Amino acid sequence: MNPIVIIGSGLAGYGLLRELNQRHCPHPRLLITADGGESYYKPALSSALGQKKTPADLAMAQSSTMAQELNAEILTHTRVTGIDPANHRLTLASGETRPYGKLVLALGSSPIRLPLTGDGANDVLSVNNLDDYTRFRERLTHARKVAIIGPGLIGSEFANDLLQSQRDVTIIGPDPWPISTLIPQTAGEAVRQAMAAKGAVWHLETFNGAIEKTAPGYRTTLKNGTVVEADLVLSAVGIRPEIQLATQAGLKTQRGIVTDALLQTSDPDIYAVGDCAEVEGRNLPFVQPLMIGIRALASTLMGQPREVRYPAMPVAIKTTLHPIITLPPQTKEGNWTFDGTPATGILGRFIDPNGKLAGFVLTGSRTPEKTMLMQALAA
Ligand SMILES: Cc1cc2nc3c(=O)[nH]c(=O)nc-3n(C[C@H](O)[C@H](O)[C@H](O)COP(=O)(O)OP(=O)(O)OC[C@H]3O[C@@H](n4cnc5c(N)ncnc54)[C@H](O)[C@@H]3O)c2cc1C
């Protein structure tokens, strides 16, 4: 019997393996991963510094333990370079090939790299996995001043974490306000003020893309003429689903690897789950949709097809200096109304043209009101 092969050892890949094991899946399982295969909780990468957790602390289990516990073969540091759907075979970077019965792509997403210029551009770090985080922590040992390019969710969380560990933080970006793709300006302003009160310097709508090396570190001159000096530059300008392998194999891809509600790709024996998947037109790179996906997929792979159905899924943003919970509206038709103040906390409701609650944002002291808003939404 050819195995179920899962590519990727992130929360999606290991989560699916765990589900299959718990359900006593009779098929052999093989997981292949390009990285070291440590089991870790990726969202912790942007809050570990303040909690004084080292990269080793974040790795909850090594791949050998995972293989034993989950009754699977695991190949680490092994990149899959090709999929041959007609013959149900994978090609590995070594040139070796492996057969599969069903294949699951849990390939995650990669950080978007801006086309930066200047002789310091190649030293700019992104943190999207444990290896990146290890490099980041090594470079931080000698860094006091950190510049973050990208005031989105991940950039703001790293800024929050660095502030907690007494670094001087400057956040730069083309965005009009922090986390602007997920929260309205009033809420973004509350976060900006809370971090500024702890020393963060924000330069929004003014990045010009050049990073120069200086004797002590790096320098970028913004469009408005401001010069920012830093010992370390972090880029957090967004992520892009990992689709290259699927595209090369002839699978249908758009923003992500296109699947139906069963997480089945355009090939009936290949599935996609987690950050790399675009499920019925939606790419949702967060933990909750991924957990819903792996449970449904485990059932499907064991012969009981189960479609993914997403409830309303608020996103909690770990800016602990001013925490946020948001349920971005799925429509532009409507208006925001706000209660509260940026200094303490904001409650924002997005009301659609029928007068119904269609999204919300809670910041600071107002975050405990999530349950009430979820109930209002359900009603
Ligand atoms: C700093 C940070 C903070 C976050 N905070 C939150 C949060 O608070 N809440 C939340 O809901 N979400 C958060 N997220 C998002 C969340 O972590 C991701 O949605 C989730 O971890 C994605 O898991 P995944 O398994 O799909 O992908 P990944 O964890 O990226 O795993 C992809 C795997 O695929 C492997 N791979 C890729 N290509 C190949 C190949 N060709 N061959 C072999 N292996 C391959 C990789 O090595 C890796 O093991 C955060 C993300 C980051 C980066």
11 lines ligand 1 (CB under 6 A): yes
pLDDT tops 90 at residue 209: no
Question: Residue 156 is part of which domain span?
Answer: 113-235
Atom of ligand 1 nearest to the CA of 81: 41
Confidence of residue 220 (pLDDT cuts 50, 70, 90): very high
Atom of ligand 1 nearest to the CA of 287: 11
CA dihedral 246, 83, 81, 240 (to 10 degrees): 10
Which neighbouring-strand residues pair with 336?
350
How far is the centre of ligand 1, averaged over its atoms, from the C-alpha of 25 (Å)?
25
Mean confidence (pLDDT) of the chain: 96
Ligand 1: residue of 76, 287, 297 to mutate (most ligand atoms within 8 A of CB) is 287
34 lines ligand 1 (CB under 6 A): yes
Share of the chain above pLDDT 90, in %: 93
The tens digit of pLDDT for each residue in 71-130 reads 999 999 999 999 999 999 999 999 999 999 999 999 999 999 989 999 999 999 999 999
Q: Residue 315: inside a domain, yes or no?
A: no
Q: Residue 178: inside a domain, yes or no?
A: yes
Amino acid at 174: P
How far is the centre of ligand 1, averaged over its atoms, from the C-alpha of 197 (Å)?
32
Residues 139 and 210 in one domain: yes
- Helices 287-301, 11-22: inter-axial angle, 10-degree rounding: 40
Q: How many angstroms separate the CA atoms of 348 and 350, rounded?
A: 7
Which of 213, 235, 257 corresponds to the end of one domain?
A: 235
270 lines ligand 1 (CB under 6 A): no
Q: How many CB atoms lie within 10 A of CB 227?
A: 9
Number of domains the chain contains: 3
80 lines ligand 1 (CB under 6 A): yes
Residues 61 and 100 in one domain: yes
The tens digit of pLDDT for each residue in 350-366 reads 999 999 999 999 999 99
Residue of minimum CA distance from atom 50 in ligand 1: 43
Residues 24 and 93 in one domain: yes
Residue position matching structure tokens 């891809």: 253
Residues 203 and 273 in one domain: no
151 lines ligand 1 (CB under 6 A): no
| DSSP structural state of residue 369 | G
Atom of ligand 1 nearest to the CA of 275: 26
pLDDT tops 90 at residue 250: yes
CA dist 190 to 147, 159, 162, 345, 350, Å? 21, 15, 18, 7, 17
Residue position matching structure tokens 């019925």: 280
Q: What is the CATH number of the domain that holds 86?
A: 3.50.50.60
286 lines ligand 1 (CB under 6 A): yes
Q: How many angstroms separate the CA atoms of 60 and 49, rounded?
A: 17
Confidence of residue 224 (pLDDT cuts 50, 70, 90): confident
pTM value is 0.96
